[in-house]
């Protein structure tokens, strides 16, 4: 089965809910709360980031797209209201305001060669905000648009000679590139290192943010109890939740996302206990060899 990495696909992210941040201090305020760099971004730029608790646990992940007079945020499914509540609580005297977007904005991401170029082309057909994203080994961009213009976007996608990814195609593409999803591969009990996001969703060159001290201490210690990692499985895909075993039969993790890559091979994302997430570790899944891949999930 050929990889989808050479295709440019539009991925619907219908579960993401959006918010808008306005006010003259919107960027500096948000920059002091979330993990990614916001203050230095210019209109047309964007980032993938996290909102953490004081304990350094992930409360939400989000895309941010910078406009001329506002920031648009697209939060992971089911997290917007919690995130807006937490962010609102941290607004004191700043000239900034955050609110859910009404009418709702839609969110799609474009992955593959020319992702940003294609996104900007699609934005010409709708009133959309576009921003590039760092999603590891894939070129990626986010496009936020009024839901009322979805039909126009659908037509623009077809006219551009590309297509919307099916659920199976998106699953395969993200597992191939180690992209985990909030609520599927990681969640509220994980910190950025455990989710494999510490080099993709965190700026290490900016000032303080909520949970920063815990994140820095984790990075300095370098010891994790578990980590989201990639597994190459010898054999076809197996059910989610299948236990990952060490050579002595001990349970060392669970599969969170699985996809077949051929009749006798599969890839998976798995939450693995230490020290079994080290690249090259040979484990077992349903009696079949499974090797931890060198690239970390992002």
Question: HSE (CB half, 13 Å, CA atoms) of 168?
Answer: 5
Taking the C-alpha atoms of residue 155 and residue 79, their distance in angstroms, rounded to an integer, is 30
- Which domain-ending residue is among 165, 187, 202? 165
Identify whether 190 is part of a domain.
no
Report the pLDDT value the prediction gives residue 294, as an integer from 0 to 100: 77
What is the tally of structural domains in the chain? Answer: 2
Identify whether 181 is part of a domain.
no
Identify whether 260 is part of a domain.
yes
Same domain, 228 and 152: no
Identify whether 248 is part of a domain.
yes
Taking the C-alpha atoms of residue 268 and residue 9, their distance in angstroms, rounded to an integer, is 21
Kindly tell me if the per-residue pLDDT of 15 is higher than 60: yes
Report the pLDDT value the prediction gives residue 281, as an integer from 0 to 100: 96
Report the pLDDT value the prediction gives residue 295, as an integer from 0 to 100: 59
Work out the pLDDT band at 1, boundaries 50, 70, 90.
very low
Taking the C-alpha atoms of residue 113 and residue 124, their distance in angstroms, rounded to an integer, is 19
Report the pLDDT value the prediction gives residue 237, as an integer from 0 to 100: 85
| Percent of the chain clearing pLDDT 70 (strictly above) | 97
Work out the pLDDT band at 2, boundaries 50, 70, 90.
very low
Identify whether 209 is part of a domain.
no
Taking the C-alpha atoms of residue 172 and residue 257, their distance in angstroms, rounded to an integer, is 9
Domain that holds residue 116: 9-165
Question: HSE (CB half, 13 Å, CA atoms) of 71?
Answer: 29
pLDDT tens digits for range 236-276: 889 888 999 999 999 999 999 999 988 889 999 999 999 99
pLDDT tens digits for range 120-163: 999 999 999 999 998 878 899 999 999 999 999 999 999 998 99
Q: What is the CATH number of the domain that holds 100?
A: 3.30.1360.120
**Sign of CA pseudo-dihedral 178, 181, 187, 191:** positive
Report the pLDDT value the prediction gives residue 3, as an integer from 0 to 100: 52
Same domain, 158 and 248: no
> Angle, to 10 degrees, between the axis of helix 115-123 and the axis of helix 150-159?
130
Q: Please state which of the ranges 147-151, 282-286, 292-296 shows the lowest mean pLDDT.
A: 292-296
- Averaged pLDDT of the chain: 93
Kindly tell me if the per-residue pLDDT of 167 is higher than 90: yes
H helices of 166-251, where?
Answer: 167-176, 212-221
pLDDT tens digits for range 19-53: 999 999 999 999 999 999 999 999 999 999 999 99
Identify whether 46 is part of a domain.
yes
Identify whether 1 is part of a domain.
no
Give the phi and the psi of residue 83 in degrees, each rounded to 5: -65, -45
């Amino acid at each position: 089965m050929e990889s989808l990495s050479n295709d440019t696909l539009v991925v619907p992210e219908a579960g993401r809910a959006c918010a808008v941040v306005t006010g003259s201090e919107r960027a500096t305020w948000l920059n002091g709360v979330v993990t990614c760099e916001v203050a230095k971004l210019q209109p047309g730029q964007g980032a993938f980031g996290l909102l953490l608790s004081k304990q350094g646990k992930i409360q939400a992940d989000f895309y941010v797209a910078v406009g001329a007079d506002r920031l648009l945020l697209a939060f992971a499914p089911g997290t917007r209201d919690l995130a807006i509540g937490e962010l609102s609580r941290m607004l004191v005297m700043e000239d900034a305001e955050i609110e859910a977007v009404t009418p709702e904005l839609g969110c799609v991401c474009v992955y593959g060669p020319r992702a940003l170029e294609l996104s900007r082309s699609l934005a010409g057909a709708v009133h959309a905000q576009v921003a590039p994203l760092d999603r590891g080994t894939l070129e990626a961009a986010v496009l936020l648009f009024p839901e009322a213009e979805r039909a126009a976007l659908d037509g623009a996608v077809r006219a551009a000679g590309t297509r919307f990814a099916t659920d199976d195609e998106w699953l395969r593409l993200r597992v191939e590139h180690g992209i985990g999803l909030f609520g599927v591969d990681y969640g509220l009990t994980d910190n950025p290192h455990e989710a494999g996001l510490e080099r993709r969703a965190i700026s290490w060159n900016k000032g303080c943010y909520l949970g920063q001290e815990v994140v820095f201490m984790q990075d300095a210690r370098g010891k994790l109890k578990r980590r989201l990692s990639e597994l190459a499985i010898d054999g076809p895909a197996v059910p989610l939740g299948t236990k990952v075993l060490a050579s002595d039969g001990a349970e060392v993790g669970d599969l969170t996302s699985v996809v077949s890559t051929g009749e006798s091979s599969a890839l998976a994302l798995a939450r693995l206990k230490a020290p079994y997430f080290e690249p090259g570790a040979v484990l077992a899944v349903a009696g079949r060899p499974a090797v931890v891949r060198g690239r970390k999930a992002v």
